[in-house]
Structure 1
Amino acid sequence: MTTGALISILVAWLLAIASPGPDLVQLLRVGAVRRNGVACALGIMSGNLLWILASMLGLSALVDAVPGVLTALFLVGGCFLAWMGQGALRGGLAARRKDAALSDAASSLLSTTMTTGRAWRLGVATNLSNPKALVFFGAVFAGFVPPETSWAARGVVLAMMLVTGVAWFVFVTYLVSVPALSRRLQAAGAWIDIVAGTVFLGIAAVLLVEGVSRLV
């Protein structure tokens, strides 16, 4: 696996975890208490670890046995990313027009009564039920890690994604736990939607072009 391929995976991964979704909203809910926010962040990454391993093991084997599956993943992944991208872009633009921001979920009473164990389990459950994770690992990530990728290279990808993922979600937790920064983060939700939607539409176009080219 080339350095360019690793950078492509890293960029796509960071865009996926940084774009607004259930994981970030859950951190806003429980992150007012920092220890619970960190536990929730680790739970989210525990869920992501399962997604990564399943994608590397199951999807790679399936693509290896049935090459046409990769074409289908490109097309399905492109369509889903296009749908997600246009939804995020439209939502972000609408929020900007209305001067709206993310709801103030950080004030949830759950954050003051939840144990760290429950916060971790909540993070795992939230991530495993996150449709963004299903699309990313089920349709997009498999295209970045072809069957011929060595296990050493897969280990590098796994470590890279885990380190950057934990760093990002814990960083968000620390932001959420500071009231002033929390308000700024929530206010930037519309712009995050706009940027993420635009980038996902671009990635979707690449995947669709690649999928169609494999059909010709």
Structure 2
Amino acid sequence: MGFDIGVLLTVALMHAVAVASPGPDFAIVLKQSLQQGKKAGIWTSIGVGAGILVHVLYSLLGVGLLIQTHDWLYLGLLYVAAAYLVWIGIGALKSAPTTTQANEELNDVEARSHYPNKQSKHAFWLGFVTNGLNPKATLFFLALYSLAIPLNTYLFVKVAYGLYLAVATSLWFIFVTFLASRDRIRRIYQQKGHWFDRAMGVVIILMAILLVINQ
């Protein structure tokens, strides 16, 4: 089966509902955008989108079926993801008030046209790992490639759907980044950002707990 506009619309609708729902990806992108600036948020968003390709790959290879039929594989992924989120959350809880010098340095980095390569890579991998280890994304792609996309669909068409999902995810979170990095919001964050970081740390840890409880 070749390209089908009805299938694409179904995939797009399912994706829109999933990506707009609050979750670890949204929390990480929002935290990065406010804490590190717009460019960090963009790189994190691209990383989240790239993480989508992990789910697409194992769905195409049939690994998703193994995860679906072997509870211990799914539980292993679940606990690794939960531990990773707790680690990020604990780091956020340790956030301290920023000094005037720190704010000036943050503004200086944000104003540069070239975002430091080391920080870009860190932001990208943070988004990539957060999405790649997200067990909710695993369930979404299992449903997508077993229910929404017909099994007799050509491989290159399935790949095209996956690429669409990766690009659409990145664009959505880049949009979130631009909203979160507006000057007024950034100024508020610079004044009270440590409280936001701590609150996000609590939210991220709660997400990890809910992942385990609602398995």
CA distance in 2, matches of 1:116, 1:61: 39
TM-score (norm 2): 0.62
CA distance in 1, matches of 2:91, 2:46: 29
| 2:58 corresponds to 1:59 | yes
CA distance in 2, matches of 1:122, 1:24: 18
Correspondence for 2:181 among 170, 173, 179: 173
Matched to 1:190, the amino acid is: R
| 2:79 corresponds to 1:79 | yes
Could you list the per-position Cα deviations for residues 128-149 of structure 1 after superposition, in whole angstroms to 9, with x for gaps in the alignment? 332x632531452232111324
| 2:111 corresponds to 1:112 | no
Percent sequence identity is 9
Correspondence for 1:193 among 192, 201, 204: 201
The residue matched to 1:188 in structure 2 has which SS? helix
| Equivalent residues of 2:44, 2:128 under 8 A apart | no
Could you list the per-position Cα deviations for residues 166-186 of structure 1 after superposition, in whole angstroms to 9, with x for gaps in the alignment? 122222222587423432343
Matched to 1:107, the amino acid is: N
| Equivalent residues of 1:89, 1:194 under 8 A apart | yes
| Equivalent residues of 1:81, 1:201 under 8 A apart | no
TM-score (norm 1): 0.62
Unaligned runs of 5+ in 1: 32-36, 208-216
Match in the other structure for 1:143? 139
Match in the other structure for 2:191? 183
CA distance in 2, matches of 1:8, 1:65: 22
Shift of 1:79: 0.6
Distance 1:42 1:194, change over 3 A: closer
